[in-house]
A and B are shown apart, each in its own frame.
Chain A
Amino acid sequence: MLDSLKLYLKLIRINIRSQMQYKASFILFTIGNLVVTIIEFVAILVLFARFGSLQGWQLEEVAMFYGLINIGYVLSEAFGRGFDTFDLQVISGEFDRVLLRPRATELQIIAHDFLLLRFGRFLQGLAIFMWASVNLGIIWNPAKVVLLIFSVIGGIAVFTGLLIMQATMCFWSTQSLEVMNSFTYGGVYALQWPLPILNRWFASFFIFVVPVACVNYFPLLAIMEKPDVLQSPLWFQWTSPIVGVIFLMVSLAVWRFGVRHYRSTGS
């Protein structure tokens, strides 16, 4: 296990070093990405300027949701890039080589690529989160910091899980299932707003099926010390990010099932 982690870190280091050979391109991409995501946030600003508040939620609180969901999403894109482009590996037959090596397939796939180019979105999410946290006067204590770190890990787990399930579909269709994208992008978009404003069906979907709310809405309530209109118990708000990890484990199980059914496309 530890050995695998070491290997992973080594492969990622090599990957990052090779991407950093194109420094100008990296900087331009980061700036481009930053501008695009800032513009996205303008939409939220405009609506708040026009309407004042959102059913008892203020701009800064929404900004907390927005910042955290984007951080989790963009990190999952960076780590899970190999799964995102997995259909190409199946089509080209490169996956056959992965199967021959004496290492876990999922490890090799995530070590395949590490996407640095979305760094701008990460910076923006982080900046907005910090701005909101300062403006709301949130008092951070060690417990809250730990909860925040777990929420980020949980967020990475959920979105990576989605990527893995999308990649698993390639074993049957060699064309990745684009519908998964609407859960990913839709989840990011929907959960940048407070969960209670969503319709019951949508909210339940994001709690029980694709548990994005468990790594964003619930832990942030505990951090903001805000009573939940949905009346979730406090102990759940503090432990909910674990659901994200469970989701990842389920999707890994699905992945292993898929690998057993893999048939090469031939050369």
Chain B
Amino acid sequence: MKAYISIFRLRVAVQLQYRAAAAAALFTQFFFGFVIIMVYHAFYASSSQVQPMSLQQAVAYAWLGQATFRMQPWNGDQEVMAMIRSGNVAYEMCRPLNLYFLWYSRLVSLRLVPTMMTGIPMFIVVLFLPTGFKAALPVSAAAGGAWFLSIFMALLLGCAISNLITISSMWTIAGDGMQRIFPAVIMVLSGLIVPLAFFPDRLQQLLRFLPFSGLVDIPFRFYLGMIPASDIFSLGLLQLFWTGVFVIIGIRLVSMGMKRVVVQGG
């Protein structure tokens, strides 16, 4: 355990170097956030029906989505994938560590640090934007607590999914096409692109039980008070359950992949 924690801390220090990238991402995410909110304003103004979430909630949801954008499993760990492609993964195999958890702890820092660097400043700013664009604080302290726990579990879940993408490159050397499809599908099903509450009602039932709502939709609804904070036990368990499933699949895949690995000399 200690070894993995020090790998995590080392990678955090590396990630902290990318300040220019963080600033650029911050700019982009503000830009997108504003446009998304303008689109919501226009949609809400054109319908008199009662919507599953209020405009204020949709606005806060949009900002939460932008602030945690860099936490999501958009891809695998590019450095590890390059190692697998080039054969340098042989060095990784020499380490007296479990490869799965080695890569997993790298991923946690890879997701956590950029998210903190852009997400925290961004979130502070959006609390003070003019009405119509500003996000509110969590509805209650309990909702905030549930959100915090749930977003942390979303991080663990997202890293388990990212790790599967990383590991998949042991089989698909040139599988870039596939490695783009899955994240795109996952992000729609998670509710990041459009809140799940806007999906057709029948489809929502299914989407809520799929693993991906645990990345975005569940934590965000805690924040907005759309689900009571006491549900953290059942929904948190759902998040943990899916994380466990992905971790077990990942561990199995690593040991399968390692058996058939051929390292070319040179």
Residue B171 interfacial (CB < 8 Å)? no
Task: Name the segment of B90-98, B111-119, B178-186 touching the other chain.
Answer: B178-186
Contact between B43 and A35 (Cβ–Cβ < 8 Å)?
no
- Residues of the B chain whose Cβ atoms lie less than 8 Å from the Cβ of A35: 181, 184-185
A52–B174 alpha-carbon span in the complex (Å): 42
**CB-CB contacts of B222-250 with A at 8 A, as 1s and 0s?**
00000000000000000000000000000
* Chain B residue with the shortest CB-CB distance to A186: B31
Which range contains the number of A residues in contact with the other chain?
35 or more
Residue A189 interfacial (CB < 8 Å)? yes
**B172-225, CB < 8 A from A:** 174-178, 180-181, 184-185, 188, 193-194, 198-200
Residue from the list B38, B176, B178, B193 in contact with A202, Cβ < 8 A = B38
- Residues of the B chain whose Cβ atoms lie less than 8 Å from the Cβ of A181: 24, 28
Residue B124 interfacial (CB < 8 Å)? no
A190–B41 alpha-carbon span in the complex (Å): 14
Contact between B176 and A197 (Cβ–Cβ < 8 Å)?
no
Q: Give the size of the chain B interface in residues (CB under 8 angstroms).
A: 35
Contact between B38 and A185 (Cβ–Cβ < 8 Å)?
no
**CB-CB contacts of A173-207 with B at 8 A, as 1s and 0s?**
00100110110011001100100011100100000
A52–B185 alpha-carbon span in the complex (Å): 24
Majority-rule SS of A interface residues = helix
Contact between B47 and A43 (Cβ–Cβ < 8 Å)?
no
Known A43-B194, A175-B20, A199-B38: A56·B177 in contact at CB below 8 Å: no
Majority-rule SS of B interface residues = helix
A40–B185 alpha-carbon span in the complex (Å): 9
Residue A134 interfacial (CB < 8 Å)? no
- Residues of the B chain whose Cβ atoms lie less than 8 Å from the Cβ of A40: 184, 193
- Residues of the B chain whose Cβ atoms lie less than 8 Å from the Cβ of A36: 180-181, 184
A193–B35 alpha-carbon span in the complex (Å): 9
Contact between B185 and A33 (Cβ–Cβ < 8 Å)?
no
Residue B27 interfacial (CB < 8 Å)? yes
Residue from the list A49, A54, A178, A189 in contact with B200, Cβ < 8 A = A49
Contact between B28 and A182 (Cβ–Cβ < 8 Å)?
yes
A60–B99 alpha-carbon span in the complex (Å): 50
Residue B42 interfacial (CB < 8 Å)? yes
Contact between A193 and B45 (Cβ–Cβ < 8 Å)?
no
- Residues of the A chain whose Cβ atoms lie less than 8 Å from the Cβ of B185: 35, 39
Known A29-B177, A32-B178, A178-B24: A55·B45 in contact at CB below 8 Å: yes
**CB-CB contacts of A17-53 with B at 8 A, as 1s and 0s?**
0000000010011011101100110110011011111
- Residues of the A chain whose Cβ atoms lie less than 8 Å from the Cβ of B39: 47, 54, 193, 197
Residue B34 interfacial (CB < 8 Å)? yes
A213–B148 alpha-carbon span in the complex (Å): 41
- Residues of the B chain whose Cβ atoms lie less than 8 Å from the Cβ of A25: 174, 177
Tally inter-chain residue pairs, CB-CB below 8 A. Answer: 104
Known A54-B46, A55-B45, A202-B34: A178·B180 in contact at CB below 8 Å: no
With most chain B CB atoms within 10 A of its CB, the pick from A33, A51, A185, A189 is: A51
Residue from the list A32, A42, A47, A51 in contact with B177, Cβ < 8 A = A32
**B11-41, CB < 8 A from A:** 20-21, 24-25, 27-28, 31-32, 34-35, 38-39, 41
CB distance from B137 to the nearest CB of A (A): 25
CB distance from B52 to the nearest CB of A (A): 8
A31–B45 alpha-carbon span in the complex (Å): 37
Contact between A198 and B177 (Cβ–Cβ < 8 Å)?
no
Known A29-B177, A49-B200: A186·B28 in contact at CB below 8 Å: yes
A266–B193 alpha-carbon span in the complex (Å): 45
Contact between B194 and A46 (Cβ–Cβ < 8 Å)?
yes
Contact between A51 and B174 (Cβ–Cβ < 8 Å)?
no
Residue B264 interfacial (CB < 8 Å)? no
CB distance from A18 to the nearest CB of B (A): 16
- Residues of the A chain whose Cβ atoms lie less than 8 Å from the Cβ of B31: 182, 186
* Chain B residue with the shortest CB-CB distance to A198: B38
Contact between A55 and B46 (Cβ–Cβ < 8 Å)?
yes
- Residues of the B chain whose Cβ atoms lie less than 8 Å from the Cβ of A32: 176-178, 180-181
Contact between A197 and B42 (Cβ–Cβ < 8 Å)?
yes
CB distance from A71 to the nearest CB of B (A): 20
- Residues of the A chain whose Cβ atoms lie less than 8 Å from the Cβ of B199: 46, 50
Q: Can you list 22 A-B contacts with CB-CB less than 8 angstroms, sorted by A residue number?
A: A28-B174, A28-B175, A31-B177, A32-B180, A33-B177, A33-B180, A35-B184, A39-B184, A42-B193, A47-B43, A47-B194, A49-B200, A54-B39, A55-B42, A179-B27, A181-B24, A182-B24, A182-B28, A185-B28, A186-B31, A186-B35, A193-B35
Q: A54-B46, A190-B35 are in contact. List 8 more A-B contacts (CB 8 A).
A: A28-B174, A31-B177, A42-B194, A54-B42, A55-B45, A178-B25, A179-B27, A202-B38
Please give me the 6 A-B residue pairs with the lowest Cβ-Cβ distance, nearest first: A32-B177, A178-B24, A182-B28, A197-B42, A28-B177, A36-B184
